[in-house]
Structure 1
Amino acid sequence: MRCVIRNLRGVVLVSTDNPAPERFFNLCRMKKIRIWDITKTDKGCQFSIGAADYLQLKEPLKKCGMKLVILRKTGLPFFMLRYRKHYSFVAGMLLAASLLQIMSMFVWEIEVDGNSYYTDNVIVSYLQENDVYVGCRMSKVMCDSLEQKIRKDFDDITWVSAEKSGTKLIVHIKENDGDNVVGKAKSPSDIIASSDGVVESIVTRCGTPLVKKGDEVKTGDVLVSGEVVLYNDAKEPTDSCYVQADADILVRTSIQYENTVQRGYKCKIYTGKKVTHHVINVMGNVAELGLIPADYEKYDVVTEIGRLRLTKDFMLPVCAGRRIIYEYITEDGMHSEEEVTQILTDNYENYLNKLKKEGIQIVSDSVKIDITDVNAGMSGSIHVVMPFKERRSCDVRTVD
C-alpha cells in the first residue's frame, strides 16, 4: 500500500558525489522530509524521495554545499506530465476510470453460500422479489433488512449473513440440521413411523415418547406424541397441552432396492466436425459471433463462458466465452454382461452414498443381479438404521 501511495504522488531517484552526506540527512529529518532506499555508490550514494519533498531540498543542499543528480522520475504526476499533449489518451484514461467508478456502484453478481436444501435459483428469485437483483444499485441493498426478511420467510434457514464485496453480493446461510420440509407445520404434531422396524435409540426434546429402545413399530405408529398431559399433586391428569413433537429417533429397518438397465443403447460416434461461435453477454444482451452456421442433424453443444473481473470480487457486467458445436452420428450397440454389471454396481454405490449423506447408516445388504438378453436388473433389501422424522397432526382431545 505504501508503494502505491508513493507512486501516486511521484518518486524521484537521485544521486550525490558527497562522501559524507550525514549532515544533509539530519537536516532532511529535521524538516520531516522522507528519504528511503539509500544505497552507497563508488563516489557517494543514491536515494529515493517524493516529488513534493524534492522541491524542499534547496535549503539543506545550500547549507551542506551538495549537488544532486536526478537519475529517474516515476509515478503518476510524471506520467501525466509526459503525456500532457496526448489529449485523447488522457481523456480515455479518465473515461475508463469514470466507467469503473460508475460500475462499482451496482451489483453485478449474487453468490449464495452454505445452502443445500434451498437451491441458488430459489434464493436468487426471492431476492429479485425483494428488489435485489443483478444490476441494482449497491446503495439500495440493506443487508440488515435483507437478513431479517430471509429468516422470517424461510423457516428452515436458521442463520443469514449478507455482505457486499466489490460488486458482488454474498449471502451466507445456514439451514436447519433437522428435516427440511417445505411448509413445515408449526401446529401441534406427532412423529410417526414411516416404515416397520425396531427402535434403536430415542432422545425426546419435546412431546411425550410412546416407545423405547427395542420396541417394534409398524408403519403409521405414533412414536412421540405432541400431547403433553398435565398432572396435579395427586398425579391425576388435569389438562393437556399440545406441542410440535421434537426428537431424535433411530430405527432399524429395511429398504427395498430395485434398478433396471436396458442392454441395448444408442452409441454416439463423433465425426470430428465442429463449429466454434464466440459469445458475448453485456448486461443480459447476448450476441453470438460465428460466421459458419452449424447445419448438423445431430450435435452436442459445449458452452464455456465466464464473467470478466478486475479483481476477485470486482465483477463487470460483461460475460464472454465460446460455444462449440460437435457433430455426431448414432449406431445401435449392446452392453456386454460385464458392462451392465458394472453399470448396475455403480448405480448401487451411488444410491448407498446418497443414503449416507441423508444420515442413514448401512448395516448390511442382500441384493442380486439378474441378466437377460433384453435387460439387466439388481434388486434386494438394504438393512439400515435411519432417522424417523415423518409428522402427523395431533388428535386434540379433552381430559375428563
Structure 2
Amino acid sequence: MRYKSIILSIILIIAVLLSSCTSSQEIEDVGIVLATGIDMEGDKYLLTHEVIVPKSSVSDKIGQGPNVQYVQSKGDTIIDALRNASLVFDKKLFLAHNRVIILGEDLAKRGIGDIINFYVSDVEPRESTLLLVAKGSPAHEVMGIKGGLSDTPGKYLFDLLENHRFNLKARDLTLNEFLRYFLAGENVVVSTVQKIEQKEIDKEEEKPNRTILDVTGGAVFRKDRLIGYYTGDEMKGFNFLIDEFENGLIIFKMSDEVVKDNKFVARSGQYLVVEVKASKTKSKVELVEDKLLLKIDVNIEGVLIEDTKGLNISSQAMLEAVRSACAKKVEEYIVRTLEKSQKEFKTDTFSIGNLVHISYPDLWKEISDDWESIFPDLDYKINVKVDVIRVGLINTPVNIEIDEERLKENK
C-alpha cells in the first residue's frame, strides 16, 4: 500500500511539472499589443505598437473603456526594432494578442517578404493576425483613430474588416493566408485602410469634422510588392471570381421602358437592390482551337430588398426582367475587375494559372514561366444566372397606382 502511494505521488508530481507553463509571463510584466504598424524611415524599420493599459494603471471611472498607449521604435530588422522598444518603454511587448498588422504604402511597394517571414516564424505572433495596407499614407498615420463603439482603435479597425461580409467591397486576409498564396507562387489581394474626414454631427464637439477609417477596396500584390488597388466595386467582381461573395448587395438599374405605363403617386427612383443569400462561382480553363479560354459560371440566389423604380413584381415577365438586369450587373462587376487585372496590373490575382495547372499539367510546364505575359491576353466567357427567391412583403410598390384592370392582367 505504501509502495502504491509513493508511485502515485511521483506520477502526480511529474504531471504537475509537465503541465506547467515554464515560459509563461505575468501580465504585469508585459505590454499587450493590439495592433502593429510597420513603416520604413530611411533604411530603418519603424514599428508603431498599440499597447493596452491595464485597468489597474488608470483611474477607475464609470463607463471608461480600456486605455491604450502607442510605442514607437526603430531597428535594422523587425526583431531589432521590437527589442529596441524596451529602451523607451518599460514593459516587454507581447505579440500573442496582436490582431492587425498595418503596412505603410511605401513599405508595401518595396516588398514585404522579410516581414511575413518574421511574423510566421516567431512563436509569439498569431498566424490569424489580419494584414492590411495603409492606402496613400504611412501605417502610423491611420493608427489611434476610433470612429465606432469598439473599446480601442485597434479593435475598431479589426471589426471594420470583419464587417466586409455585409457588402463585399473589401476582404480580410490573414498572415497565414498570405503565406499560402505566396508559397504557391500566386499573387495576393489584401485589405486596405485609409483615413477620411466626416462631418461631425454631435453638437457638443468643437471640431466641424471628425476622422474615421474606411476599409473599402483591396491592395494588389505581385509576389510580395504592392502594385495598385482595386476599388470597392472591383472588389465585388474579385469576390465573385474567387467564389467568396455572400451577403453582399447588387445595385443595378433598369430601363425606364419597364415603367412607362405606371401612374406614379410618389417619386420614381433609379435603382433596385438584390441581397445575395447564396452564390457559387465555378471557373475552368479550356483549350479551344489551341487557345486558352476561361469560362466563368456564377449562380446566385438573392432577395429583392429595395425597389425605387416602381416595379410591379407580381408580373412574371417583370420578375424575369429583374433577374436579367441583376445578372448583367454582376457580369459588369466581373468584367471590370478582369479588365483592370489584365490591362493595368497585367497580373493574375485570381489563381487562374492554378486552373491551367490542374487541367493541363503538361501545357503548364511549358507556359508557367511566361504566364504573366500570357494572362493579359486570356479570353474569357462569363455566364451569370440569378434566382430571386423572395421579393419582400408586398408585390405592388406604394409609389404607383394599380387599377383593377391592370391587377387582372398581372395575375
Fold-level match, TM-score > 0.5?
no
Structure with the larger strand share: 1
Q: Which has the larger radius of gyration?
A: 1
Q: More helix per residue: 1 or 2?
A: 2
TM-score class, shorter:
under 0.3
Higher relative contact order (Cα pairs below 8 Å, separated by 6+ residues): 1
**Which TM-score applies when normalising by structure 2?**
0.16
